Amino acid sequence: MVKIADRDWLLAHGRTLTLGGKARLMAIVNVTPDSFSDGGDHVAVEDAVSFGLRCLEEGADILDIGGESTRPGAEPVSAAQEQDRVLPVIEALAKQTDALISIDTYRAETARLALTAGAHIINDVYGLQREPEIAAVAANVRAGICMMHTGRGREVLADPIADQNLFFQNSLAIAAAAQVLPATITLDPGFGFAKETVETNMDLMARFEELHGLGFPLLVGTSRKRFLGTLSGRDAAERDYATAATSVLLRMKGASVFRVHNVKVNRDALAVADAMLAAQARI
């Protein structure tokens, strides 16, 4: 078990979120027709907003709004299409709640518009390396940033932790050049992103503690991923219990934030994990 010290994650609009003693949940709100497990469920603005509100009631700390599927083989969308999908949802949620809102995008302009609309966090699946100017967008308003590791479109080192370190060194250099505050940064090892086999994902999970050497809070997104389907034999929409198992395992190894489709199941599982961590600290 890993002891997780409290630290404040600095976010846009003067907000903070304390990470450490309590597992935090980031609810996935895909405003897309083709995401791998919930595509088409929340395409209409009112459906996405309603789902987001339900996630908050179930215990979500953050709503992560995405307008482009990142599944392998997904059709790319234009920046205008992405913005048309996500901005009305962010604006509506910002007006109706004080929830923390994340924009799932690698595009600098989409991120800028989303932050103006009320978002607090940028969740970039390319770790600032697809459009490096996104780092300056974040720095200008002290937005929270989640930099995700990916192996897509590049040579990957054989050792998974060495590859994580190499990738994040590049991402953190981009952030430093844009004067991004370290206290705004979280890192995501990117389970399932060019990590195609069960063994690759499980090896990364087994060695997860080594990622603490990077010095930043860790956010994870295993929810309903293909490797869980291989292990469980279940279709994407039926992988929430397998997801919860990985959430508990990764919490015990020091993960702070969990990006999930099913908030309720993961909230309950992580409450048990948090209680065990608290008991371990007392011994």
Active centre residues (catalytic): 225, 259
Torsion of CA 269, 20, 198, 66, to 10 degrees: 90
CB 9 within 8 A of CB 186: yes
